[in-house]
Amino acid sequence: MNKLLLLIAAAFLFASCGSSSPQEPIRLQGKAQGTYYTIVYYDSLSRNFQPQVDSMLQAFDQVASLWVDSSEIQRLNRNETSVVSPTMRDLLEKSFAMNAYTDGAFNVFVGPLVAAWGFSFKEREELTEQRIAELLRYSHGHYDISQNAAGQIEFTKEYPAMQVDFNAIAQGYVVDQIAAWLRKQGIGSYLVDVGGEVIAKGLKPDGTHWSVGVERPADDKDDAPEIQAVIALDNMSVVTSGNYRKYYEKDGVRYSHTIDPATGRPVEHSLLSVSVIDPESWRADALATAFMVMGLERSLQFIESHPQNPAVFFIYDQDGEYATYATPEFQELIIE
Ligand code: AMP
Ligand code: MG
């Protein structure tokens, strides 16, 4: 996914690649999930993990990427198979849990709607009320995950036309996977960024935290990014969802790539971006998307009524001006 929503603060932008001193960061970069990734870490053994990281990302793309034609998600969507891998099962179960948790705002079955509104690989369809109602049915069909007689895990769905879209959770998920793998290698200080979904842990050798900039919404999707706030992260992930990089305009109306699963239409409200901080990146990713669906007021009600108040930062439009609101948990982490 091509969304540069978060910028990594200057602190490590100057990091050099494959350095030999343990006091200098090692920086890996490449492409995955239709986007870029950057990983920076300190290692007393100066190991270069590029090959391992690349193969992890490739393996993940083979499961969950809509950009890989032969991926497991594509084969499931084309109904070529119903048996799922452990990673696919985990992604599906986490997605369904978030669907319940967000009262339906997060819904990976919006796939056919995302495509129909022109946000995947096809041009936008001419959409009638009837067609939207039909596609909505596919977002709310029944599904099941169970073990078959051969002991395999099977994912079954009510309509063959039901299609899964992990774009709102997959990057966060793979960020967690890479972070866990780095910890296993004994890396105590790292930052992992896949397409703007970031996780960081530990202090840098100079004793400072990893810092991450949250981008100010751009007026135009091609505008150069500017930083709205800088936050310090330790053992936390920050994910931003926004409507200002991925949209299209038709007859003066901006259509967002976030689909409201209640209406089957792109969301239309004053919320421009939502950043969520959570220990788990997949959760932050799914929640940020869900808040974009809910809009500011419903999101604030949701945060109030859920005991483990997440750290959330909203940027919204107020009479043509940018306004921001940070929950106290988020505010605490802002350093600039
Ligand atoms: P994100 O940038 O994480 O908010 O993800 C946005 C992407 O998730 C979109 O481009 C769609 O592919 C997909 N999507 C859109 N609406 C939803 C929704 N309500 N629930 C889950 N995924 C969605
Ligand atoms: Mg998301």
Which pair of tokens denotes residue 260? 């409201």
Please tell me the distance between residue 246's alpha carbon and the centre of ligand 2 in angstroms: 13
Ligand 1 atom at minimum distance from 108 CA: 21
Ligand 1 atom at minimum distance from 289 CA: 4
Q: What was the pLDDT predicted at 156?
A: 97
Integer Cα distance of 12 and 218 in angstroms: 24
Of 295, 317, 289, 277, the C-alpha closest to 119 is: 289
Q: What was the pLDDT predicted at 109?
A: 98
Helices (H), the chain: 50-64, 72-77, 86-101, 111-116, 129-139, 170-184, 281-305, 328-331
Which pair of tokens denotes residue 235? 């053992």
Ligand 1 atom at minimum distance from 197 CA: 3
Residues paired with 103 in a beta bridge: none
Give the closest residue (by CA) to ligand 1 atom 5.
168
Q: Which letter does DSSP use for residue 108 in this model?
A: G
Ligand nearest to the CA of 245: 1
If one residue of 67, 94, 139, 167 were mutated to test the ligand 1 pocket, choosing by the most ligand atoms within 8 A of its CB, it would be 167
pTM above 0.85, yes or no: yes
Ligand nearest to the CA of 281: 2
Residues near ligand 1 (Cβ within 6 A): 3, 106-108, 110, 114, 119, 165, 167-168, 241, 257-259, 261, 285, 288-289, 292-293
Q: What was the pLDDT predicted at 11?
A: 33
If one residue of 174, 258, 272, 312 were mutated to test the ligand 1 pocket, choosing by the most ligand atoms within 8 A of its CB, it would be 258
Ligand nearest to the CA of 108: 1
User: Is the distance from CB of 143 to CB of 162 less than 8 angstroms?
Assistant: yes
Q: What was the pLDDT predicted at 330?
A: 95
Q: What was the pLDDT predicted at 19?
A: 44
pLDDT one digit per residue (tens) for the chain, 336 residues: 333 334 343 333 333 344 445 589 999 999 887 788 999 999 999 999 999 999 999 999 999 998 899 999 999 999 999 999 999 999 999 999 999 999 999 999 999 999 999 887 777 778 899 999 999 999 999 999 999 999 999 999 999 999 999 999 999 999 999 999 999 999 999 999 998 899 999 999 999 999 999 887 777 767 777 888 899 999 999 999 987 555 566 666 666 789 999 999 999 888 999 999 999 999 999 999 999 999 999 999 999 999 787 899 999 999 988 899 999 999 999 998
Of 225, 232, 163, 235, the C-alpha closest to 196 is: 225
Integer Cα distance of 253 and 151 in angstroms: 51
Ligand 1 atom at minimum distance from 172 CA: 3
Give the closest residue (by CA) to ligand 1 atom 10.
257
Give phi and psi for 31, each to the nearest 5: -125, 140
